Chains A and B, each alone.
Chain A
Amino acid sequence: MRYRGRALCAAVLAVCLFAWPNGHPAYGQAADAPRGRVTVRTESTAERRAWTSRVDSMLRDGELRLRESREDPLVPGRTQERADQYYRGVRVFGADVSRQLRNGATESIFGTIYEAITVETDPAIDEDRARELLGARLGVTIDASTPVELVVLPLDAGGYALAWRIRVVTRGDTRQYFINARTGASLLDYSDRKTQTAVGRATGVLGDLKKISVRTSGGQYQTRDDLRPPDIETYDMKGDPARTDRVLIGLVNLSSNDLGTDADNDWTDGAIGDAHIYAGYTYDYYFKRFGRRGLNNADLRMQNLVHPVRRADIDIYGDLYPDFFVNAFYNGNGVMVFGEGLPPNFTLDGQTIDYFAGAIDIVAHELTHGVTEYTSNLIYRNESGALNEAFSDIMGIAVEFFFQPPGNGPLKADYLMGEDVIRPGGTRSAENPGVFGDPDHFSKRFLGSADNGGVHINSTIASHAYYLAIEGGTNRTSGLSVQGVGQANREQMEKVFYRAFTQLMPANSTFSVARAATIQASRDLYGSNSAAERAVTQAWTAVGVN
């Protein structure tokens, strides 16, 4: 998110350096119960060499599949890898290894793998039948949207079974069930509820009342959402910019003590509440609209940092930490920072700046940078950078329309960005970019080097095309008219742009590539010569992208 008119507001797209917990204890290398289970540790050089060779071999053969790889935030030059074991393409439940690399060489390996697996991997019953069987067993109906996973389950008594894993939430518990995928028999179930979830009420930045999903711990409520599949956590940085900075560069780890807290579950800190709630809404939107599971489509943890400074400290820290006041940004790996805004008696270019977390489109915008990071990874400069920003604006607008009624004013869906907290007017307009001096046509694009080659400025060329493709109308520069798909069909354009920007476009895309990709997406989804294809084609032509 950029606040216009200030170079200090350039958005940050950095690599997150947060530490991820590495909870493997130092097991001895031995086969132990159940039979076939091998716990891995590398204490000696010989062990390290042997297991390095073994793990590399398994990775090559597809027996291990890399789940994640990230830089170690605490030790420079170190990389942490996690890989899951697979047997004939099916994940082995509870089998994974964690490898630490130092400058590319193995430093340590810990994990659990299973040997001598012999199990048929073709399920005799499908996942729908598995839901039915479990539902009948529990005396309930398990919704078709409840995810199931086919796994190889190591049995406590020895041996293996092909199983459907189903996680069911009931009023009293959350349980993992394993249904034999060959026979339908129950194999295992256990409680998977780790904490006590709670639903509270929160008053937002704009005074609106919403529900908030939190947890209870130690007699108080904390902003950690355990109801949604990913961990969504909102941290209160308590106005300490130096500590916030150290967190962002990986020198300090956040703990549960840093989570936002409330004594009675009636949250009145609007910034904390809105950041937490709107992050959840954004996850909901991606899941319901596209079936996407979070930023990396694998329920990556989402962390919101709010109150990075105090507004009253604007004179002290305004120049040193400008982004903490008048910006919101995605810091990589699921970490968002939401600026504090300005004191009430301050204005910037005639606008007041409230807590950035109070605008749903801003929150969705930042989280969409995360989606981009894990998909097209559009390079954050020049045209690809402008497309990166445009996609965040487009999805920010889409999320706003998904949760708020259309209209003008606070808490209404429109094509302005950030208008709920940057008042009056917001910071960009997809409907009429010229209101803010941004280009609505390719011929007016910014060609300088500022703003990473105009990543924010030129983003409106694409977001305006998105607007025209839905609403229709005439481009003010070209005078060309567009027959939009209409508000009732906005979902079509959301899916077209989502498909193009997350699945079809390469990292170094240009506007021209975006045009071709969205047209292709519209054909894929709605057919050649469909209204969607005509709308998106006309829209790009109208904004001068051919």
Chain B
Amino acid sequence: MQPRLHALMLAATTLTMTAPAMAQTGSVARRPDSVLISVSGGAQQSANDISDHFSFPKNQETQTVDVNYPMKPTGLFDIGASFRVWKGLAFGAAFSRASGSGDVDVTTSVPHPFFFNQPRIVTGTDTGIQHAENGVHLQVQYIVPASNSVRVIVGAGPSWISVEQEAVTDVTVTESYPFDTAAFGGAVTKSTKASAMGYNASVDVTWMFARSVGVGGLVRYTRADVDLEPAAGRTLSMKAGGVQAGGGIRFVF
């Protein structure tokens, strides 16, 4: 995770807003509450690594490229709001952004310029490949009054996830006569975007330590199947989303 993300999460967890409490119990007088605002920082573990395979003509044969994008936990920022509409029933909306960078493992089979069926197998790793996901999550929620000061909100609903992925589009190899070996020179990448509808389900546990302010923890699973197009006619399918976990400040109105 990059330092920038750490700073973002820290800021998120220390951010304070003033708003009426959704539910106040215990030492804090209970009052009608209708809105909860949450601001959280945390991490996202994506569902799966991304694997890509593409090929193109080279030296009268086909050069194949296999790319593996290991999905490591990325930093998460999340902001959301819940609107109680009737008893424990609420509607919620949240925006999340998970971003980070990592390495990609590349394996390519490069046809020999002089001979058929004598490919050179070249492997290498390219670093600093950027990945980011923006999600908008809508939920139907049920507010579970666990105690006077603790609220548990469970919800589920559709998600719209936009993915911005730096994708490998080509591989550079270095070679020299007699061309029996080749070395990895680097990956040529291109930033590509795509979005898709998916779903989400979450649990948010909030403890109000003041009249309108509390802290909470969020666990959300969200998922959408996104088809990126790093090159014309080539699709890179990935499962966006994953398990999001974080904590932060809560405000109630």
Please report A residues at the B interface, Cβ cutoff 8 Å. Answer: 135, 138-143, 145-146, 167-172, 199-201, 209-211, 213, 227-229, 280-281, 284, 287-288
Contacts and interface: CB of A to CB of B under 8 A. Distances in A.
Given A211-B114, A213-B113, A284-B114, A141 B60 contact: no
B178 interface: yes
Interface string B94-132: 000000000000000000111110000000000000000
B174 A229 contact: no
B178 A284 contact: yes
Interface stretch (B21-29, B183-191, B200-208, B240-248): B183-191
Contacts of B184: 140-141
B174 A142 contact: yes
A408 B185 CA distance: 43
Contacts of B176: 142-143, 145-146, 167-169
B177 A140 contact: no
Contacts of A228: 177
A228 B113 CA distance: 10
A287 B178 contact: yes
A227 B113 contact: yes
Interface in B153-174: 172-174
Contacts of A201: 60
Given A171-B185, A199-B60, A227-B179, A141 B113 contact: no
A379 to B, nearest CB: 33
Given A139-B186, A229-B177, 11 more contacts: A141-B183, A143-B175, A145-B176, A145-B181, A146-B176, A167-B176, A170-B173, A199-B113, A213-B114, A228-B177, A287-B177
A213 B186 CA distance: 25
A168 B176 CA distance: 6
20 contacts: A138-B185, A141-B183, A142-B174, A145-B176, A145-B181, A146-B176, A167-B176, A168-B174, A168-B176, A169-B175, A169-B177, A170-B172, A170-B185, A171-B172, A171-B185, A199-B59, A211-B113, A211-B116, A280-B114, A281-B114
A168 B113 CA distance: 16
A229 B176 CA distance: 10
Using C-beta atoms within 8 Å of the partner chain, give the interface range for chain B.
20 to 34
A209 B114 CA distance: 12
Given A139-B186, A143-B183, A213-B114, A227 B60 contact: no
A210 B175 CA distance: 21
A211 B59 contact: yes
Contacts of A288: 178
A287 B115 CA distance: 16
A212 to B, nearest CB: 9
A11 to B, nearest CB: 29
B60 to A, nearest CB: 5
Interface of A is mostly: mixed
Contact of B116 (A145, A146, A210): A210
A228 B72 CA distance: 44
Contact of B172 (A142, A146, A172, A209): A172
Nearest to A287: B178
Contacts of B186: 139-140
A210 B113 CA distance: 10
A146 B179 CA distance: 10
Nearest to A169: B176
A529 to B, nearest CB: 35
B60 A140 contact: no
Nearest to A210: B116
Contacts of A287: 177-178
Contacts of A143: 175-176, 181, 183
B116 A170 contact: no
A288 B113 CA distance: 16
Nearest to A171: B172
B173 A142 contact: no
A110 to B, nearest CB: 31
B174 A140 contact: yes
B172 to A, nearest CB: 5
Contacts of A168: 174, 176
Contact of B174 (A141, A145, A211, A280): A141
Contacts of A227: 113-114, 177, 179
Nearest to B116: A211
A531 B177 CA distance: 34
A200 B113 CA distance: 9
Contacts of B183: 135, 140-143
A172 B174 CA distance: 9
B185 A200 contact: no
Contacts of B178: 145, 284, 287-288
Nearest to B179: A227
Given A171-B185, A200-B60, A288-B178, A211 B172 contact: no
Contacts of A135: 183
A168 B175 CA distance: 7
A142 B181 CA distance: 10
Contacts of B116: 209-211
A35 B183 CA distance: 40
A281 B114 CA distance: 9
A138 B176 CA distance: 14
A140 B126 CA distance: 12
A140 B59 contact: no
Report the 10 A-B pairs with minimum CB-CB distance, sorted nearest first: A141-B183, A140-B174, A199-B59, A140-B185, A146-B176, A201-B60, A169-B176, A199-B113, A170-B174, A140-B183
B54 to A, nearest CB: 16
A270 to B, nearest CB: 17
A448 to B, nearest CB: 44
Contacts of B177: 169, 227-229, 287
Contacts of B174: 138, 140-142, 168-171
Contacts of B113: 199, 211, 213, 227
A200 B59 CA distance: 7
Contacts of B60: 199-201, 211
Contacts of A284: 114, 178
Contacts of B172: 170-172
A168 B177 CA distance: 9
A228 B173 CA distance: 18
B211 to A, nearest CB: 59
A287 B178 CA distance: 8
Given A211-B60, A288-B178, A139 B114 contact: no
A288 B116 CA distance: 18
Nearest to B182: A143
A167 B114 CA distance: 20
A164 to B, nearest CB: 15
